């Protein structure tokens, strides 16, 4: 089984999707001749041609709007938005059009498509290239939201997203593009959407994370083990619909919960996860749930590592939860 980084795994997934189904089209700014700003689409235009790997104008609303029309006519567009921060010019198209077609047509039109975009900090991108905007999309009925943490899952989740009848917002942690490496099967396979993965097992505290923060949570869990606290660490993979059963089962066993994400704290996805746990397993909780998140500020440039909820911020939260 070949070893790949996340860029290579995503590129392989796109190649497989284009090769399996002639209705699949990759489109976005610089995805063709340039191969994408992070090189995720490198080589695809040479293999599949300009009609299936389409360089678009710099117009995110227009890109997504055109892709919606293509999806309604039976094609499967895979759109690249260069940075998650650039999703906002297309937000109206996503929320008021794409997310509603299946509902408003009584299921006649599903508008299945994927919007890929790099998210998160860790590469000194500053205010306009580092946001992690999952919460506003999770809030919108009709969308699925995915965020892989490993090359294996990146390929399998992307291929599953291409086949899904609902539109998928596919968030790619750019800090992991070349840092995360692992074995990736050849050819076509899928990782089921809505399925979380238990990465580490322990009886004392449940830690939930996704994307780049999974590795920070694992590092904190390893350090907590040195102090006698053993954690279960769960990688959500699909943020919405979330695998609440896996989470609830773990919290029933540990009685304690720590949620980690790098987006700002207020109204972040962590708040929803805490609410879901409290609704389902409140009487199993032995301590208040804890959130370790980004701060309620714009994403900083010079203080990037202070903003991110890295291992040194997660560890005290884990120990506090375990000893409460």
Domains, in order of start, for the chain: 3-183 (3.40.50.970), 197-323 (3.40.50.920)
**Which one of the listed residues 127, 129, 132, 261 is annotated catalytic?**
129
pLDDT of residue 1: 83
129 included as an active-site residue: yes
The pLDDT value given to residue 31? 97
pLDDT of residue 6: 98
For 75, 121, 280, the CA distances from 319, given in Å and listed in that order, are 50, 26, 24
Task: Classify 16 in phi/psi space as left (phi over 0), alpha (psi -120 to 50) or beta.
Answer: alpha
User: pLDDT-based confidence at 324, cuts 50/70/90?
Assistant: confident
Helix (H, G, I), strand (E, B) or coil at 88: helix
Q: What is the mean pLDDT of residues 63-87?
A: 96
Measured at the CA of 138, the angle between CA 137 and CA 144, to 5 degrees, comes to: 90
Phi, psi at 37, each rounded to 5° = -65, -30
89 pLDDT more than 90: yes
Query: Percent helix, strand and coil across the chain, each rounded to 5?
Result: 40, 20, 40
The pLDDT of residue 224 is: 98
Provide the pLDDT for residue 126.
84
Q: Average pLDDT, stretch 222-226?
A: 98
Check pLDDT > 90 for residue 322.
yes
- Provide the whole-model pTM: 0.97
Q: Are 68 and 113 in contact (CB under 8 A)?
A: yes
Mean pLDDT of 226-244: 98
Q: Which among 229, 197, 228 is positioned nearest to 214, based on CA atoms?
A: 197
221: exposed, middle or buried (Cβ count in 10 Å: 0-12, 13-18, 19+)? buried
List the Cα angle 221/146/101 in 5-degree steps: 155
Lowest-confidence segment of 63-77, 87-101, 123-137, 232-246 by average pLDDT? 123-137
Q: What is the pLDDT of residue 109?
A: 83
Tell me the C-alpha distance between 158 and 239, whole Å.
14
Look at residue 200 in the predicted model and tell me its pLDDT.
Answer: 98
Does residue 108 carry a pLDDT above 90?
no
> What would the two tokens of residue 193 be?
């959407």
Tell me the per-residue pLDDT of 18-64, one tens digit each, with 9 for 90 and over: 999 999 999 999 999 999 999 999 999 999 999 999 999 999 999 99
Q: What is the pLDDT of residues 177-193, one digit of tens each?
A: 999 999 999 999 999 99
């Amino acid at each position: 089984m070949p070893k790949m980084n996340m860029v290579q795994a995503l590129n392989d997934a796109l190649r497989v999707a284009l090769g399996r189904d002639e209705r699949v089209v990759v489109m976005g700014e610089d995805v063709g001749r340039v191969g994408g700003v992070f090189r995720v689409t490198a080589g695809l235009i040479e293999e599949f041609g300009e009609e299936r790997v389409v360089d678009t104008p710099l117009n995110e609303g227009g890109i997504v709007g055109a892709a919606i029309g293509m999806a309604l006519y039976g094609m499967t567009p895979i759109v690249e938005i260069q940075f998650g921060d650039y999703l906002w010019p297309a937000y109206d198209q996503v929320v008021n059009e794409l997310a509603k077609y299946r509902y408003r047509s009584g299921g006649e039109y599903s508008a299945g498509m994927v919007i890929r975009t790099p998210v998160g900090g860790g590469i000194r991108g500053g205010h306009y290239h580092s946001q992690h905007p999952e919460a506003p999309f999770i809030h919108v009925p009709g969308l699925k939201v995915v965020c892989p943490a490993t090359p294996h899952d990146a390929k399998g989740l992307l291929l599953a997203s291409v086949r899904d009848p609902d539109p998928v917002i596919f968030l790619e942690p750019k800090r992991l593009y070349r840092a995360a490496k692992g074995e990736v099967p050849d050819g076509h396979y899928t990782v089921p959407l809505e399925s979380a993965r238990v990465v580490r097992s322990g009886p004392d505290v449940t830690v939930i994370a996704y994307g780049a923060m999974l590795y920070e949570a694992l590092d904190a869990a390893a350090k907590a083990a040195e102090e006698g606290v053993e954690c279960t660490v769960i990688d959500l993979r699909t943020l919405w619909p979330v695998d609440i059963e896996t989470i609830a089962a773990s919290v029933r066993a540990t009685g304690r919960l720590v949620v980690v994400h790098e987006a700002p704290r207020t109204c972040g996805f962590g708040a929803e996860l805490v609410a879901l746990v409290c609704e389902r397993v409140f009487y199993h909780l032995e301590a208040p749930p804890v959130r370790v998140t980004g701060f309620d500020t714009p994403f900083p440039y010079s203080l990037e590592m202070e903003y991110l909820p890295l291992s040194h911020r997660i560890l005290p939260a884990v120990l506090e939860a375990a000893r409460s």
